[in-house]
Structure 1
């Protein structure tokens, strides 16, 4: 039942430099010991930052997302598209 923050930075270097920081707030519902044990048994948390993938089984634990779904996945698409549109 806690909220954590996911920070994703993107840099685009052309003739100019553009850097963006995407900050998202992800709130999990309260989890039981059984929830946690069953999730760990899937091995999905292995090799993941924060031990979950928002697009995976852990999506069932998310109560609220403030920000960018794609940013939590690792590439904030809206911000990248904006940066690409700014290339002159």
Structure 2
């Protein structure tokens, strides 16, 4: 799964390159993994409901892939970071109310820890910024490495 997140992040970074663009280009992609299943962004309410029911009372992994492309050197650095999130058991009513907010529909795994779904979390191992979708300390280390290479 980490390779998938990195591949998506790399694609995002490289897809915006244009002639004359200079500097560092950052791509990030975050995926939610439950067992052997990768949970993407739900296309509609029923899919989001199914995802949240599957996550209820269980632990899952949140993996962010990062890519930093240096237009000056042509080099692309990649990395990933993983966190483990456990949801408390959710009631169907809680899930329906959360779906009514519209929050789940643009987020991998149908939830955003930084929003109302933060109340679903009973345990977090690893970085909170990673679960939000931007592992800041890992990104900063990559940016400093690019600077030091110049």
Match among 100, 108, 114 for residue 41 of structure 1: 100
Structure that is richer in helix per residue: 2
Moved more, 55-64 or 31-40: 31-40
Greater relative CO, 1 or 2 (CA 8 Å, sep 6+): 1
TM-score (norm 1): 0.89
The whole-number CA distance in structure 2 between the counterparts of 1:79 and 1:47 is 24
Deviation at 1:42, TM superposition (A): 1.7
Secondary structure (helix, strand or coil) at the match of 1:45 reads helix
Gaps (5+ residues) in structure 2? Answer: 1-56
Write out per-residue CA displacement over residues 34-69 of structure 1, whole angstroms, 9 at most, x where no aligned residue. 211211122221222111111000000001111111
Which aligned pairs between 1:1-88 and structure 2 lie closer than 5 A?
Answer: 1-14=57-70, 15=73, 16-87=75-146, 88=148
The whole-number CA distance in structure 2 between the counterparts of 1:74 and 1:33 is 26
Secondary structure (helix, strand or coil) at the match of 2:106 reads coil
Displaced runs of 4 or more, over 3 A: none
Deviation at 1:17, TM superposition (A): 3.6
Gaps (5+ residues) in structure 1? Answer: none
Write out per-residue CA displacement over residues 9-53 of structure 1, whole angstroms, 9 at most, x where no aligned residue. 111223344211111111101111121121112222122211111
CA-atom RMSD in angstroms: 1.3
Secondary structure (helix, strand or coil) at the match of 1:63 reads strand
Secondary structure (helix, strand or coil) at the match of 2:103 reads coil
